[in-house]
Structure 1
Amino acid sequence: MGYGGGVSPVQVLLVWFAACFCMALAGAYTMDPSDPLRRHEDARLRAERILSAVSAGVAPSLPVTTSASPSRVYYVTEYGADPTGTTDSTDAIARAISDASRPPSDRFLFVGIANLDGAEIHLGGGTYLVNRPIAIPPSAGNLKVQLPSSFCVSKK
């Protein structure tokens, strides 16, 4: 059909591709709160609501969100680390790292790299004496170490 007001095959093809794309997106969106696409979409929708509220002159109210998994903060002092730096804290810090490195689920960031869901090793304020190297397992991914502290490394 020509330019006489009919629908061309190209237009039909474009509509068909758009419909397939929309169906593919709808199938990719899950209700699983840990799904990255779901989290991205939820964040985008929250940002749109806040932006529209701000542009309308209304004070935005942020929704209360709850985490799908419990907080995974590991305080080295709870494992016996000495924040005064007078006794060796190597074993206590290593135990905290070992516990934090246990994945809470069977999800992976990459093959062989477990997703630790942002587990956090917290050293708090203090000076810690460490007498030997401490290693973070190479299979640990998405692990944070809070370092507002200083280390004293002995020269044995």
Structure 2
Amino acid sequence: MKKLCFLIISSALLMSCNSNAQKKSKEEQFPVQKTETEWKKELSAEEFYVLREAGTERPFSSPLNNIKESGTFICAACSHPLYETKNKFKSGTGWPSFDQPIENGVFFSTDNKLGYTRNEVLCANCGGHLGHVFDDGPKETTGKRYCMNGDAMDFIPTKN
């Protein structure tokens, strides 16, 4: 009986050592850290809604949908490189879509806001919400569709 009590107490103590206070929050994992007030001063209302509040812009509303020229899509909040035009494709969904990000461009998390789990895509530098990734992309490349909000990105054309 003493051994059983010892095992139960030991297990409880070990579990309590792994508290949430020791885990970093999702936001603390990113190099760029700013307060909500600082972000509000730097971003437009639309950018703030998408990047900092994980909002979604209306489909077919982004001018980035039509970009075909060579260049780089960067985070609208911190200018971190995210995607290249060569990986962009027309998905028909109404949002800029890519089959893969630039290496170390994005960070993945989960989102349960709609009552089911989705794979959320964040800027790896500032943690801004970009969109989601799905497994219905082009089969001839990665099979992934990175469905991004245009308000979360800017475009820098390649200089010739």
**TM-score normalized by structure 2?**
0.29
Larger helix proportion of the pair:
1
Larger strand proportion of the pair:
2
Higher relative contact order (CA 8 A, sep 6+): 2
**TM-score normalized by structure 1?**
0.30
| Structure showing greater Rg | 1
